[in-house]
Structure 1
């Protein structure tokens, strides 16, 4: 490779001499190790995003109001799931450390007690979500032509929340062990079930009833149930599997076991709170622009989710490899794996950005042929193209910080950038500046650049490698 590329991508060029603590893997070994964990994780996250996008495409046949109705439920749903996402950050980080330490008993204690917490909390939150669905969606900005369909869709989704929460917990633990193939297989099957029942229930095909938006929600719940069953099957009691369910770990709480999970999870929870508040306000601003703008936003968000999922999968690999390296007391390898995943993301980002620039209009037309939606959506995809490299890098660096337990810092970044800057700048660019939907998406670029700068500096300093879990 050329001198410039070698300096950027070679294993022996990524660390300063004073950072090295032992023998480093070759460049080939480095990217092979990262790829073995990253590839299933990338396939996993891409599949999840593709199903979300296909949901939008299938629902789009019902019109702009139906697209908007499904889109308006996303942030309220994510607010409810935020508790479990935060807990899973702690589960992944601690299990990765225990895997690096070869402490199988400790890893299974963490898993069992986390599952108990997930089960209790998920039932409570799903009931509250179903009861208060309508006022929650009205507060989110649902318009009169979408509120009825959105309420039905959201209430049905709440049935599957316990299944989703428990599956997320198990997948988080498996990823901490580096078992990203298990999560991939679970999501592949669950998403296939979702797509099949979307086809059967949205339009009423092959003799099934035509349930429209409600059918899409029911299909999602069926997929959640299948995913839960497969997740439990992955924990069957075999000596070949590092993780397994043990009844005494489900029933007895050990403070020393739970403490590091709760410590990391609480900070991650604060981060999730600021993220969800920021995103909630952001969606509320966009929803107030009207149904057409909300439908366009939902289409572009689906495309962004698919693009981001590539780097989100790399983030999963970076957190797992970094956490395991820290468990082996090799902070140099933790840094090295994080940088390797970020280097891979640069290549992926370049491909995605080029695709959005040259084929953006055709991508939007796959969802809708309404010219106003196509025109607006194409402009938004240009913004996404410019933002992609920064978003990818910040995702991977932030995943390493969380994997190391530095969740207080990522929470602070979320508060500043997502909780404050994004909704404030979105409002300014959307209304006083008259930028409308395009102005709102410009705030997305600013948010990602700020986060990239803050987490990049923190990653480079290396203090996240010194935290005890």
Structure 2
């Protein structure tokens, strides 16, 4: 196969993708360890934390949209070796992320019960989730700022630094969760509240280490305040023109995912807990995909920024082929090994185990179309600057196809949660069918700098 003969492409891809994949593996491991610890507290606690984190998921995907948009600019400025502009983009991304974080933090602190009531009807789940939300909300702003620097580091060829920072965060989070959830070292057992406090501590440690790593040496991102906020009206206008479709797309897409969770929650506490457990497992399988998509964004953006559009197109085709092969391989493993992966959650009852097992099989069978779509939209279209088309495709498929199917399956047909998940996956299939003609047309190649 031709792509495996391109040594320069493979070397560049692996240099970016592997550290990002390892960082995502560490992050996913944090979520898995959290879920494993919380699973020992019972099904209700699993459901409560899972639903409370839907609010965080909505927030962090908006932040992801802001920083995905910034990475498009940074990648192209990196291709042009324009350091001052990279610093301005970073400052704008940090400012926007922090402002959004402030809104979500205040909302979660003041209205945790209202948020939980919107998400689920179970009174005990609402009570436990509200307690968790009040505490974990304090981690939102440091998470956003740290994430902005992490994306910028990866995009400017320093993916190992965020990976190491994530490892420190993982150790910190796991240690404090264990101590605070179960009451070790003479401290009281705090249960779900302990999990929230452990997350807050880990996030503040993470942002502290991030600033140290960036400013210890005088690197590309070690800008002073003046450099970070040296935007003018034209710069902000140009930035927002490209990034607002990404921000709106991520916000609307993540809200759609929250609606899926609400639909699943209509099927009961057990279905909610099963989705939380299986999503935790699937996220581990998805780490290589995120690495691939991020490498795609950086490499394509850099080639377009340097004026080599033919190579950008060639890279796009290579990445789509890799995503197909990777999706098939990982999906097959996931569908074939539910009994193995669920052994980690030995404390759950038999009924929850069976629902989770069937859901994992369905997730595995539909995994390849999710991988192909994610690489096409996040990697190729956004990396090429075609953010508006990517936004329309991403958001339209979720809200026109996915969300209606989720509620039809859950409320009208009263399907098991794994069948609801299966029919919702049709939106991913439609997305894949529409992506390839766009990529082959080359209309997605846009030099925005």
Q: Fold match, TM over 0.5? A: yes
Q: Secondary structure at the match of 1:76?
A: helix
Match of 1:3 in 2: none
Answer yes or no: is 1:128 the counterpart of 2:96: no
Match of 1:23 in 2: none
User: CA 1:454–1:231 in 2, change beyond 3 Å: closer, same or farther?
Assistant: farther
Contact 1:264–1:405 (Cα < 8 Å) also in 2: yes
Q: Cα deviations across residues 418-461 of structure 1 (Å, max 9, x unaligned)?
A: 12311211222234334221222113421221222223332222
> Structure 2 matches for 1:237-252, cutoff 5 A?
238-239=217-218, 241-252=219-230
Match of 2:387 in 1: 407
In angstroms, what is the RMSD of aligned CA positions?
1.9
> Structure 2 matches for 1:161-310, cutoff 5 A?
161-236=140-215, 238-239=217-218, 241-310=219-288
Residue range with higher mean Cα deviation, 277-286 or 447-456: 447-456
Shift, 1:347, TM fit: 4.1
CA–CA separation in structure 2 for the residues paired with 1:342 and 1:223: 36
Shift, 1:44, TM fit: 0.9
Contact 1:88–1:169 (Cα < 8 Å) also in 2: yes
> Structure 2 matches for 1:43-82, cutoff 5 A?
43-82=22-61
Contact 2:94–2:148 (Cα < 8 Å) also in 1: yes
Q: Cα deviations across residues 169-213 of structure 1 (Å, max 9, x unaligned)?
A: 111212221321122112111122111111111111232321110
User: CA 1:142–1:46 in 2, change beyond 3 Å: closer, same or farther?
Assistant: farther
Shift, 1:277, TM fit: 2.4
Answer yes or no: is 1:462 the counterpart of 2:442: yes
CA–CA separation in structure 2 for the residues paired with 1:125 and 1:354: 38
Q: Cα deviations across residues 61-81 of structure 1 (Å, max 9, x unaligned)?
A: 000000000110122112223
> Structure 2 matches for 1:429-440, cutoff 5 A?
429-440=409-420
Match of 1:449 in 2: 429
CA–CA separation in structure 1 for the residues paired with 2:442 and 2:421: 32
Q: Secondary structure at the match of 2:267?
A: coil
| Residue of structure 2 aligned with 1:334, choices 312, 316, 325 | 312
Contact 1:426–1:441 (Cα < 8 Å) also in 2: yes
Residue range with higher mean Cα deviation, 448-457 or 131-140: 448-457
> Structure 2 matches for 1:131-146, cutoff 5 A?
131-146=110-125
Q: Secondary structure at the match of 1:145?
A: helix
Q: Secondary structure at the match of 2:215?
A: coil
Match of 2:367 in 1: 388
Shift, 1:360, TM fit: 0.8
CA–CA separation in structure 1 for the residues paired with 2:91 and 2:335: 47
Match of 2:335 in 1: 357
Number of equivalent positions: 447
User: CA 1:236–1:363 in 2, change beyond 3 Å: closer, same or farther?
Assistant: same
Contact 1:34–1:341 (Cα < 8 Å) also in 2: no
Q: Cα deviations across residues 255-274 of structure 1 (Å, max 9, x unaligned)?
A: 23333332232111211222
Match of 1:420 in 2: 400
Q: Secondary structure at the match of 2:444?
A: helix
Contact 1:116–1:250 (Cα < 8 Å) also in 2: no
Q: Which ranges in structure 1 are unaligned for 5 or more consecutive residues? A: 1-5, 11-25
Contact 2:296–2:319 (Cα < 8 Å) also in 1: yes
CA–CA separation in structure 1 for the residues paired with 2:274 and 2:250: 25
Shift, 1:142, TM fit: 4.5
Q: Which ranges in structure 2 are unaligned for 5 or more consecutive residues? A: none
CA–CA separation in structure 1 for the residues paired with 2:107 and 2:394: 26
TM-score after normalising by structure 1? 0.90
User: CA 1:395–1:425 in 2, change beyond 3 Å: closer, same or farther?
Assistant: same
Contact 2:120–2:126 (Cα < 8 Å) also in 1: no
Contact 1:90–1:263 (Cα < 8 Å) also in 2: no
